[in-house]
Structures are given as C-alpha cells and as structure tokens.
Chain A
Amino acid sequence: MKISKQRCVGCANCVPICSVGSIYIGADGLAEIIEDSCVECHNCYRSLSFEHLPPGFTRLIRRALRAVALRFQPDPDICPTEAFIPDELSWPRVVRRAFSDPMVTHESTGVHGRGTEEVKTNDVSKRIKSGQVGLVVELGRPGLGVYFHQVQQATMALAAAGVSFETGNPVTQMMEDRNLGTIRADVLNEKVLSCIVEITARLEQTPQVLSVIREICRTTPTVISIGAATVCDEQGREPLREILAEQGFATGWAKVNLGLGRVSNRSLDAAGRTA
C-alpha cells in the first residue's frame, strides 16, 4: 500500500486505523507507510470512507484555519482526498495480503479469511475425529502481527514434539518439510497480521501438546491466541473441557458446531466419499 504525497493533506485519520500501527505522519506533515511492517491488509484502503476534496484547496483551508487556531478535521473514518494507492503485489509480498486481508481467498485452500475451515465445517469434513483434539495456535493475534521466521520457530518446536499438522491449512501448505516444521525460505521475512498453525492429536495427548505450546508462548516476541476443539458424543457431551480445566484453562467462550451440515455435492455420497 502507498499513500500519495500529492493527495494526502496530513489529517492523520489513517494513523490509528492501521491494523499494525505502520502509518505515521512524516517530517513533511504527510502520512507515510512503513513498508517492512505493513501487512497489506488493505484496511485503510477498503474501510475508510472517501470524500473527494481537491487536495490543494484542502491544504490551503487547513493552513488558513491553523493560522487562526482552528482545525479542519473530517470524521474519524474519512480520508478526505482518497490518498491510498494499492500496490500490485508480487511473490513473496503477496503472502502478506493472503494472510492479512480477510476478504482475500487463500489459493491453497480456497477459503477466505485465515484460510482454514477448522472445526466450523467438521460435521461434513470430519477433520477432527472422535477421540481427537484439534488445536489452533494463532500467532500474532490480537493485533500485533508475526513474521514467518517467528512462525517457523513455533512449527519446528511442534514438529519436534511429533504432532501432525492439518493438511487443509495455509501455513501447512507453506511448509517445506512437515516432519521438521520448516517453512519455505522465501517467505520467512514476510510479516502477516496473524496465521493459524493447526494440529491434531489424540485427546490424551492434550496436556503434552499444551506444554509444548506453553513453551512456545514463553519465548515468542508476539502474542498467541490458542483454541482447542473436539467432537461431542451422541448425547452432546465431550471430555475436553475437563482436561482443559485440569491444565488450568478457564473455558467460558466457545464456538459450537451444531451438526446441521450435510454432505450434498453431487459427486459425493452421504459419508463424503466420491460416489
């Protein structure tokens, strides 16, 4: 993303909007973007309202008002002169947008947002099976972001613990070697708003895997949001909550898959097998 020096009037409305704090007002009084830390989420370009004021005239008004101790300040969600210019992104920078812009669909999984359906469609996909736990380790969330070399530290630690990475997940798709947890070298310096490392293990392994994740959390320079999922039995009960409580985790907020999904694509039978 770029901000046009010709169009920006330095109102600074975009500065707090940036999801990772990469916009600042430069010495010339106009907004600039720190290219290294921008995650190409397009939040500024997509979600600020645009008022098409002429930049030169607007600067003049701003200067005139400043001279009499007044200020021209548009509503906090408006860029008065439509100063943003999205870049044509190429590899590997395009990875930033794929992982950070919620409206972009991941090519590797065909899913938008963070690119994984995880437990949300488990009633049809059965990716987490009875007796298993699915753990989603989201690095960089909330709001700090993460570089892929930091993600690799986590994936290598998890791989060393012998976990299996979920195949239908964009981070897994970026791995060079899933047994080692190494991520392709050309994206290691790319920063994204967040990304989910998704693993599956047997329920009884939950404490061991959580202790590895705790160790990762102890050394990471960013924040990590953790989620743990399992399937319920025919009465709707599940043993995971108790396991998590034993591990010292409070479990109040959750996402519940109601089991209303049904395999219906013509090429599949009711169990999801190719017909």
Chain B
Amino acid sequence: MTNTLHRFGSQESLSGDFIVFAMPGKGFNDEGSLEKARTFLRTAIKYRPINMGNALVNALYRPEKNLSFITLYFHGRQERTTYEKLIDEIPAAGSAAVVFDRREPVAEFLAEVKALDLGLSVNVSALVDDVRHICGEVSITPHAVEYTLGFHGATERLPDRDTLELSTMCGHGMVSSNFARKMLDRVKEGRIKPEAAVCCMAKFCVCGVFNRSRAMMILDRTATGS
C-alpha cells in the first residue's frame, strides 16, 4: 500500500480521503490471516465505505469480461459488484483496503477494529493531523508514520494538476494520466456524465483505493469550469 502514500491534491481535496487497510506481515502473522482480512472488510460494510479491494482480485468496481450486444442492450453495464461477493472471492489476505470520504465513519470503524483485536497490521493513509485526531478519539497510539515528500526529478514531464489528482488515486499507476485526461475532456465537452467517468476510472484501480467522491468533485469542478 505504498500506493496510497503519494496522492496529489490540495489540502481541501485530500481532507475527504481516508484509506484504511489491514495486512499481515509475511512470516509474522500471516497464518490464518485470510479470515481476519475478511472480518476486517465485513466490519467495514456497515460504515459504508466508498470503495473496497485487496489487490488479489478485482476490486468493488471491476471490468466486465463477457459483455455482448444483448446484455448491454437489455441489462446495461454492471460495473460494481457487492461487498459480500468481493469478500467471498478474496483468495488471501493481501492488503485489505477500504476507502472513506468522511472522518466520522473512519473513527467508528477503527474503534470496532481495535475492539476486534484481529492482530493484523492496520494503517491509515490520510492527512496526518486528521489521523492523529482520530487516534486520540479512539485511544490508539500510532506505532509509525510515513510521510510523503512529494514528486521530484523530471516533474516537467508530469501532466496538469487535475489529471495528476485523478491518476494518483491509483498509486500503482493503473489509472493512466492519458485516460484521466480523456475523462476530464469528455466531461468538459458533455460527452460523458461525471458519474460514468468515475466508474470507468475506478475499475482500473485493482486495489480498490480510488476515491470516487474526490474524483466526482474534480470532474464536477471541470464540468462547471469552477
């Protein structure tokens, strides 16, 4: 989940982005970790995360590999699976991740995870002051902090800010900057609705850490020219 460390955006935009993930340490607590990861994900459901995944199977938003003219015409796109189906499908613990767009459910979820005492390593990627605030609320003392120091080197080769904000929501680079740019342009031209564009992009992030709400904000901003 180094893929959640370098999300680009303004403080305001990042304040609605929380990724909570659990993973076992190989050789330390990986025995029996699959059921613990499933418990972690099932526990998250009642707090209504906006995305979920574990990087070993396709995430909540996923491609459809068996489309036909008939299914498209009569059923339309079925781009989102259910939380339960995803959780049943995961073959190993991996990095079980859930994404929230508000602080309150994160605190409630973490309080329950702490009480469950699963024994997996649990991390939160977000604005560090918000995480510290949440830790205080739920009486958790952080073990370690990893800060992003940003992008360096040939940064003149990077795309514009809106594109980068969208594409870095998949830290593995699976939402390519060209595709993010295409979605921004199409929304601006009125050729695709922001909701549909967000769905398209979310499917490429196999870890399920793409923040739909933030993406909607960016696309809405583009559509309205604000």
Which residues of A are at the interface with B, using a C-beta cutoff of 8 A?
Answer: 15-21, 41, 43, 46-53, 75-78, 102-103, 109-114, 116-125, 128, 134, 136, 138, 141-144, 193-194, 196, 213-214, 216-218, 220-232, 234-236, 238, 240-241, 244, 249-266, 268, 272
Contacts and interface: CB of A to CB of B under 8 A. Distances in A.
A53 B69 CA distance: 8
A229 B141 CA distance: 16
B56 interface: yes
Interface in B79-127: 94-95, 110, 113-114, 117-127
Given A258-B142, A260-B140, A120 B56 contact: no
A244 B149 contact: yes
B214 interface: no
Contacts of B151: 141-142, 223-225
25 contacts: A18-B176, A43-B174, A49-B203, A109-B26, A110-B26, A117-B25, A118-B146, A121-B23, A123-B143, A128-B144, A141-B151, A143-B176, A143-B177, A144-B157, A225-B5, A226-B150, A241-B128, A251-B128, A254-B148, A256-B142, A256-B144, A257-B145, A260-B121, A261-B122, A272-B28
B178 A21 contact: yes
B14 interface: yes
Contacts of A76: 179, 182-183, 186, 192, 200
Given A251-B128, A261-B120, A256 B135 contact: yes
B128 A252 contact: yes
B21 to A, nearest CB: 8
B69 to A, nearest CB: 7
B167 to A, nearest CB: 6
Contacts of A19: 173-174, 176
B63 A263 contact: no
A86 to B, nearest CB: 14
B153 A75 contact: no
A119 B146 contact: yes
Nearest to B164: A142
A225 B26 contact: no
B52 interface: no
A217 B152 contact: yes
Given A112-B56, A117-B26, A255-B146, A102 B152 contact: no
B216 interface: no
B75 to A, nearest CB: 13
Given A43-B176, A141-B6, A142-B164, A253 B140 contact: no
Contact of A102 (B3, B129, B142, B144): B3
B179 A222 contact: no
Contacts of A123: 121, 143-144
Interface string B5-21: 11110010010000001
Chain B: interface size category: 35 or more
A48 B29 CA distance: 35
Nearest to A121: B25
Q: B114, B122, B182 — which one has the most chain A CB atoms within 10 A of its CB?
A: B122
B28 A257 contact: no
Given A256-B126, A258-B142, 7 more contacts: A50-B65, A120-B21, A142-B168, A259-B140, A259-B143, A262-B119, A264-B29
A23 B154 CA distance: 22
B195 interface: no
B171 A141 contact: yes
Contacts of B131: 254, 256
A138 B143 contact: no
A221 B156 CA distance: 10
Contacts of B123: 120, 255-258
A258 B122 contact: yes
Specify which of B29, B30, B168 lies most central, judged by the most chain A CB atoms within 10 Å of its CB. B29
B27 to A, nearest CB: 7
Contact of B144 (A50, A224, A229, A265): A229
B67 A263 contact: no
